[in-house]
Chains A and B, each alone.
Chain A
Amino acid sequence: MGGSRINGSEILFRIVLFMMCTLIFLSIIYPLYFIVIASISDSTLVSTGKVLFMPKNISFFGYDQILQDDRIWVGYRNTIFYTFAGTLVNLLVTLPAAYVLSRREFPARRFIMLAFVITMFFNGGLIPTYLLMKDLHLTNTLWMFILPFCVNVFYLIIARSFFESSLPSELYEAAAIDGCSHFAFFIKVALPLSKALISVIGLYYLVGHWNDFFTGLIYIRDNKLQPLQIVLRDILLSNQVFQNGAGAGGNAGGYAQKYADQIKYGVIIVSTLPILMIYPFLQKYFEKGVLIGSVKG
C-alpha cells in the first residue's frame, strides 16, 4: 500500500469498511459466545439478562448431566461411525468415478456425465424414494446412513474439474509407456497429487453426515440406531431434557426446569464442538476447491 495517496474518500471508505466488518464479526460471534457463557451460568441469571458478557455463578451442572446421559453417548457413537464409514464410502465411490470422467480418452464420459447431472435437477421425490428403501430392506439398518446417495453429483463435478486441470494428459501417457494402468496411475499419481481436493470433498461429505437428521427422522425407528442429531432434537426441541423422567414429577419440576436450559446450552456446545474444531484447519482449501469446481459448471 506504500505509494498510494490517501485522500478523504479513501479514509471514509476505510472507516465504513471497518465498521461493517466489526458489525458482521460481532453478529456472528456473539450468539456463539453467548451460548458458551450461558452453558456454565445460572439459568435464572441468563434468562433475566444478567449474563451478557461474562459467565455468572459458574457451575458445570449442565455438562455433568450431559456426561451421564446415555442417549447422547449412543447418539455420539452412532454419528461418529456413520460419519467416518459414510465419508469413506463417499470418497471410495466419488473419486475413482471423477477420475474416469475426467479422462478425455474415455468415450462414454459425456453420456455418463449427462445421466449424473440430470439427477441434480430431477428426482423421484420423497415417497417413491422412501418406498424403494423399504423394498430394499434398508430402513431401520445402519446401511441407510452409508449406502444411498453416496455420490453427490455436485462434488463429483468439482473433483472431475480438479483432475482435469491438475493431471495433464502427458502425465498419463508417460506413465502408460512405462506399463502403468489407469488403476495404478489413479492410486500412485492422481491421489497423491490431490490432497487439497480430497480434504475439501471429504469435509463436505463429513459435515453432511455429521449434521444429517433427515435419514434418522424418515428411515430409522430403532432408538439404538439413531444419530446424534435425532437425540439433540429430543433434548433441544421436544424438551426431553432429563433421561429418567426427572422433572416430570412434582418436586423435581422446579429444580429440573431451572437446569433444563443450562443442559440445552451445554448440549449445543458438546454436539457442535467437534466439527467446529476440524474446519479451520481445512478452511484454506475452500476457496481453491470452489474455484476449481466452478471453472466448468
Chain B
Amino acid sequence: MGSRSVFHTFKRDIHLWLMVFPAIIVIILFNYIPMYGIQLAFRDFDFSKGLTGGEWRGLFYFKQFMDSFLFTDLMKNTFLISFTSIIVGFPAPILLALVLNQIRRKKMKNLMQTTVYLPHFISIIVLVGMLNVLLSPETGIVGYLMKSIGLGDINLLASTSTFIPVYVISDIWQHCGWNSIIYLAALSTVDPQLYDSSKIDGASRWQTIRYIDFPALIPTIVILFILSMGNILSTGFEKIFLMQNSLNLPVSEVIATYVYKIGIVSNQFSYASAIGLFNTLINFVFLFAMNAISKKASNTSLF
C-alpha cells in the first residue's frame, strides 16, 4: 500500500481520523516535541530563546560530564543497581508463576494471586515509608529484632553496604507477583493435551515443569529480558531518589537522580540534558545488543 493511499482515503475515514486525532496530538506534543528539544544537550540554554535558540556548543557538555569527578561513581552505581535488580529480580516472577501454576485448587490459587498482586498497588512513597518505619534502628521492629538476635546496630537505611540489598529485596516484594501475571498468562496457553500425554508416559510433576512449563515460557522470557535490558540504566529513579540520604549517597547516587539535581534543582539545563541523553544512548546500545544476540541465539527478537 503506497503512502499516497494512506491519506487519499481521508474523506471516507473522517470519523476514524477524528477518533484517533486527540491521541496523535498528545503524542506529538508531549513525546515528539521533547525529542526535538534534545538538541539542548548540544547548546547553551538561553531563557529568552527557548529550547532550541541558544548557542551551539557541540559535545562540550558531554565532555564536561565525562571529565567530572562524579562520572565513575555514577556509572558504577547505576550499573551495579541495575544489574543486581535484573540478575536477582528477573527470575523471581518466573519461579513464582511456575509455583502458582501448580496450585490445583481454584480457591487457593485465587487467594495466592490476590495476595501476590497486592503490594503492586502500594505507592512508592508508602513503600519507602514502610521501609523507614520498619527498619529504623531506634524505633523500627526490624532494627529491634536484629539487635536482640545479636546482629548489632547496622542502620539498614543509611549504610553503604545494605542499600542495594534493601532496594532489590523490597522491589521483588512489591512487583514480583504483578510481573508474574504475564508468565501465568503464557502458561495458560499451554495445550492441556501435553499434560495428559506426559502423565500417560509417567512423568512426575517436577518433570512437567522442567519439560513442558518452562520451555513454554521461553519466548516470553526472552522478550521481557530484552526489554528490561533496554531500560537498564533508567530503572527506579523514584524509589532510589526517595531512599537516598546523606549516608548512603556514595552508593545511591545514580545518573537519573543526578540529572534531577543538576537540571531541576540547580537549573543547569544543558548539562543535565547531556547527561540524560548519554543515559538514553547507553540504554539503546544495550537494547540493540541484546536484541541482536537473542535473534542469533533463539530467533526471538523485538525488531
Across the interface, do A237 and B128 meet the contact criterion of CB distance under 8 Å? yes
Q: Which of A1, A123, A211 contacts B31 (CB 8 A)?
A: A123
Which of B2-10, B67-75, B78-86, B246-254 sits within the interface?
B2-10
Q: Which of A24, A38, A100, A107 contacts B1 (CB 8 A)?
A: A107
Instruction: Let me know if B55 is at the binding interface, CB within 8 A.
Output: no
CA–CA, A94 and B23, complex, Å: 7
Interface residues of A in 69-127 (CB under 8 A from B): 92-94, 96-97, 99-101, 103, 105-108, 111-112, 115-116, 119, 121-127
Instruction: Let me know if B165 is at the binding interface, CB within 8 A.
Output: no
**A interface: dominant SS:** helix
Q: Which of A181, A276, A291 contacts B121 (CB 8 A)?
A: A276
| Known pairs A28-B173, A97-B20, A126-B263; A237 contacts B112 (CB<8 A) | no
Which of A44-52, A53-61, A191-199, A245-253 sits within the interface?
A44-52
Q: Which of B16, B36, B144 contacts A100 (CB 8 A)?
A: B16
Give chain A nearest CB distance to B231 CB in angstroms: 9
- B132 contacts across to A, CB distance below 8 A: 236-237, 264
CA–CA, A88 and B246, complex, Å: 41
- A52 contacts across to B, CB distance below 8 A: 141
Give chain A nearest CB distance to B281 CB in angstroms: 10
CA–CA, A181 and B18, complex, Å: 12
- A229 contacts across to B, CB distance below 8 A: 123, 125
- A132 contacts across to B, CB distance below 8 A: 30, 33-34, 37, 51
Interface string of B142-176 (1 = CB under 8 A from A): 00110010000000000000000000000001000
Chain B contributes a number of interface residues (CB within 8 A of A) equal to 97
CA–CA, A236 and B129, complex, Å: 5
CA–CA, A34 and B144, complex, Å: 14
Across the interface, do B238 and A13 meet the contact criterion of CB distance under 8 Å? no
Across the interface, do A24 and B116 meet the contact criterion of CB distance under 8 Å? yes
Give chain B nearest CB distance to A167 CB in angstroms: 14
CA–CA, A286 and B287, complex, Å: 28
Interface residues of B in 248-289 (CB under 8 A from A): 256, 259-260, 263-264, 269, 272-273, 276-277, 279-280, 284, 287
Across the interface, do B133 and A126 meet the contact criterion of CB distance under 8 Å? no
CA–CA, A106 and B113, complex, Å: 39
CA–CA, A69 and B123, complex, Å: 21
- B26 contacts across to A, CB distance below 8 A: 93, 147-151
- A168 contacts across to B, CB distance below 8 A: none
- B189 contacts across to A, CB distance below 8 A: 291
Across the interface, do A123 and B35 meet the contact criterion of CB distance under 8 Å? yes
Q: Which of A119, A182, A290 contacts B15 (CB 8 A)?
A: A182
- Point out residues on A near B: beta carbons under 8 Å: 1, 4, 9-10, 13, 17, 20-21, 24-25, 27-29, 31-32, 34-35, 38, 43, 46-49, 51-52, 92-94, 96-97, 99-101, 103, 105-108, 111-112, 115-116, 119, 121-132, 135, 147-151, 153, 156, 181-183, 186, 207, 210-211, 213-214, 218, 229, 232-233, 236-237, 261, 264-265, 267-268, 271-272, 275-276, 279-280, 283, 286-287, 290-291, 294, 297
11 residue pairs bridging A and B, Cβ less than 8 Å apart: A31-B130, A93-B26, A96-B22, A97-B23, A107-B6, A124-B36, A125-B273, A236-B125, A236-B132, A287-B181, A290-B182
